[in-house]
Chain A
Amino acid sequence: MSTTLPPQFEVIDRPLDTQMTISFGPQHPSTHGVLRLELILDGEMLVKATPDIGYLHTGMEKLFEYKKWQQGIVITDRMDYLNPLGNNLAYVMAVEKLLGIEIPERAQTIRVLMCELQRIASHLVWLGTHALDIGAMTVFFYCFREREKILNLIEAASGGRLTPSYFRIGGLMMDLPAGFERRCKQFTDDFLAALQEFHTLLTGNKIFQRRTQGIGYISAEDAIDWGLTGPSLRGSGVEIDVRRTNPYTSYETYDFEIPTEQSGDVWGRYMVRMREMKESHKISVQALSRLKPGSIKADAPKVVLPDREAMKTHMDALIHHFLIVAEGFDVPAGEIYHPIEGSKGELGCYIKSNGGPKPARVHFRGPSFVNLSALPLMAEGEMVADVVAIIGSIDIVLGEIDR
C-alpha cells in the first residue's frame, strides 16, 4: 500500500505457509453474473486465481448458423446485455459491409447518438456495481437513476429497454419518435451535473482511493500482450480506441478525446471510465445537433423492409416484403472482421458467408472474454478482498464471455 497506516491497522503480508483453496462464485454477488474463480490463498494473500467460465454458455454462435441474417440481430442483444446497441452495430455493420450497402447520414447519426447513450448507460452500471462491491452503496442508486433516463430514451426509440434490436441491416428499425430530441436534450443538459455528483461521491473519497490505488496493476506491455482493449487498456496508458484507429459510422468527424491514465491500476481504469462518460456525452451532444430530417433506411429494396404504407400500396414493395420475411436475402460469399469500440473494449464480429440466406459462421470477439483472461495476472499477489475490486475494474459481462 502506498500510504503508511496507523500501527493497529498494519497489514501483515508475510506468507503464513498454509495454503487454502476456496471457490469464489458462481453465486457470489461480486462476480457480476456467474463467474467462478478458484482462489489459492496464503492467509489473505492470493497465490493463484483460475477463472472458471461457461455457466452461461448458450451456444449463440451455433444458433446464428441456423437463423436468417436479419434474425441474428436479436441474438446479439443477449450477449453483452449492458451494451446491446453496440452488439447490434458490430453485427449489422459487418453484414452491411459484405452486402456493400451505404447507410444514409441520418441513420448514421442516430446510430452514433444511441451508441454513445448506451455506452454511458453501460458505464453507469459498472460504476454503481463497482462502488457497491467496494462498499459504497449510495452511488448505486444515483447511477441507476441516471441509467433509467437513458433506458427510457432507448425504449422510446425502439420499444425495448434491454434488448432493443434497434439497428437493422441497412438502417434502423424505425425513425426516432416525436419529442425524442427534446427528451434527449433534457438528459444531456442534466447529465454533467449528475457526473459531478458521482465524482463528489467517490473520487475524493479516501476509503475508495485506498481500496483502488496501486491495486491490480498491469503494465502497458502486459496489457497489449494479453489483448486488453477499451478502458482496461487505456488505464495502462495506451491510447487505443477503435473509434479513432479504425473509424466507423463517421466517428472521424466527431470531436472527442481518448482519456488515458498512466497508473495501470484499478484507480486508473476507474478514472478512464469516468472521463469517458464525459466524452460520450460530448459526442451525443454533437450527434444531437447534427440530426437532420432524412431517410433512415438504405436504398436496397431486396434487403431493407419497405415502409408499411408502401407495402400496402405498391405491388413490388409487397413482393420484397414477402421475400425478405419468408425466405430472407442472400449475402454474397466472403468473410469479414468488423471491430467497433464497445463499452468494454474492442468488440469484433467475424462473419463468413457462403452466399445464401444464413451465415456460415459468426464469431464474436467479446472484450470481456479477453479482459477476464488477464485477471490472474492482475490479481495474483493481492489481498483476497481486492479481487472484487479488480473484477469490478475490468467491467465484465458474463453474457458476452460465455455467449
Chain B
Amino acid sequence: MSKEIEQGQASAEAEAATDNSNTPSPLVAALQRQNPEWVGEVIEAFNEVTVIVPRAKVVEVCSFLKTAPGLEFNMLADLCGVDRGPEEEPRFEVNYHLFSTTKYHRMRLKVLLNDEDTHVETVTTVWRTANWHERETFDLMGIIFDGHPDLRRILLPEDWEGHALRKDFPLRGYEPYSLT
C-alpha cells in the first residue's frame, strides 16, 4: 500500500517535472490533479509548502486533503489569522497548518479575505479541533466563520469592542477597560 503511494507520488513528481521547470511538491501536484481550480498561488519556502486556496473552496479542499490516500492530513495542527494592515488589499489571511499523523508531512493552506467581507466557511465539519482556533481568530481578528457551531468570543470578555489583533487596534486599547 505505502509503496504504491510512494510510486504514485514519485510519478506525480516526475510528471510535474516534465511540464514545469520549477517542480511543485507532490502534495500540490495531487491537489492540482484533483481540481486545478483549488490551487491559486503556490509558495515554497523554508521547506514549507503554502497553497493559496479560493475562499469558496476551502472546505472542499480540506475534506479532500483529509481523506485522499497518500495525503491523509487528518490533523489540523493550527489555524491563525493574519492582518496585513488596513491599507493592504486583500487585508486578511487565514492560515491552516495541516499535519498527517500517518505520513508525518505538513502543509499550509491560506485563504485571503477583503476588509469588507471577512467571511469564510468553517472547517469544524472537517476537523473538530478547529472549533476553538476559529473562535480565537474571530475574537482577536474579527474573521467570521460561517456555519461555526458556537462562534463566541473566547479570550476577551463578551462585551469587548473591536478585535485586538488588528493592526489598527491600539496596543493599549481605546480606553481603560473595567470589568464592572
A positions within 8 Å CB-CB of B: 53-54, 57, 59, 61-63, 65-66, 97-98, 224-227, 238, 240, 245-246, 334-337, 339, 346, 348, 350, 352, 360-361, 363, 365, 369-370, 373-374, 402-403
Near A by CB (< 8 A), chain B positions 151-180 give 153-157, 164-165, 167, 169, 171
* Residues of the B chain whose Cβ atoms lie less than 8 Å from the Cβ of A246: 104, 106
Say whether, besides A54-B155, A59-B164, A224 and B74 are in contact (CB < 8 Å): yes
Say whether, besides A62-B171, A337-B78, A370 and B156 are in contact (CB < 8 Å): no
Q: Is the CB of B104 within 8 A of A245?
A: yes
Contact bitstring B20-60, A, C-beta under 8 A = 1, else 0: 00000000000000000000000001101010000000000
Q: Give the distance in Å from the alpha carbon of A57 to the alpha carbon of B160 in the complex.
A: 13
Q: Is the CB of B78 within 8 A of A238?
A: no
* Residues of the B chain whose Cβ atoms lie less than 8 Å from the Cβ of A335: 45, 50, 95
CB-contact partner of A336 in B48, B76, B83, under 8 A: B48
CB-contact partner of B128 in A62, A226, A334, A336, under 8 A: A226
Given A339-B99, A363-B78, A365-B97, 16 more pairs with CB closer than 8 A: A53-B155, A59-B171, A63-B171, A66-B171, A227-B75, A246-B104, A336-B48, A337-B77, A337-B97, A337-B106, A337-B108, A352-B82, A360-B82, A361-B80, A365-B78, A370-B132
Say whether, besides A54-B154, A57-B156, A336-B46, A365 and B82 are in contact (CB < 8 Å): no
CB-contact partner of A350 in B45, B78, B84, B154, under 8 A: B78
Q: Is the CB of A365 within 8 A of B77?
A: yes
Minimum CB–CB distance for B103 against chain A, Å? 9
- Tally of B interface residues using CB under 8 Å: 38
Say whether, besides A57-B155, A59-B164, A62-B165, A97 and B132 are in contact (CB < 8 Å): no
* Residues of the B chain whose Cβ atoms lie less than 8 Å from the Cβ of A225: 74, 127-129
Contact bitstring B135-158, A, C-beta under 8 A = 1, else 0: 010001000000000000111110
* Residues of the B chain whose Cβ atoms lie less than 8 Å from the Cβ of A240: 101
**Residue ID in chain B nearest A337 by CB atoms:** B97
In the A-B complex, list the 9 residue pairs whose CB atoms are closest, starting with the nearest: A227-B129, A365-B78, A54-B155, A245-B104, A373-B132, A363-B80, A57-B155, A361-B82, A226-B129
Q: Give the distance in Å from the alpha carbon of A274 to the alpha carbon of B67 in the complex.
A: 34
Say whether, besides A53-B155, A54-B154, A350-B95, A61 and B101 are in contact (CB < 8 Å): no
| B131 on the A face (CB < 8 A) | yes
Q: Is the CB of B164 within 8 A of A227?
A: no
* Residues of the A chain whose Cβ atoms lie less than 8 Å from the Cβ of B46: 97-98, 334, 336
**Residue ID in chain B nearest A225 by CB atoms:** B128
Say whether, besides A66-B171, A373-B132, A227 and B76 are in contact (CB < 8 Å): yes
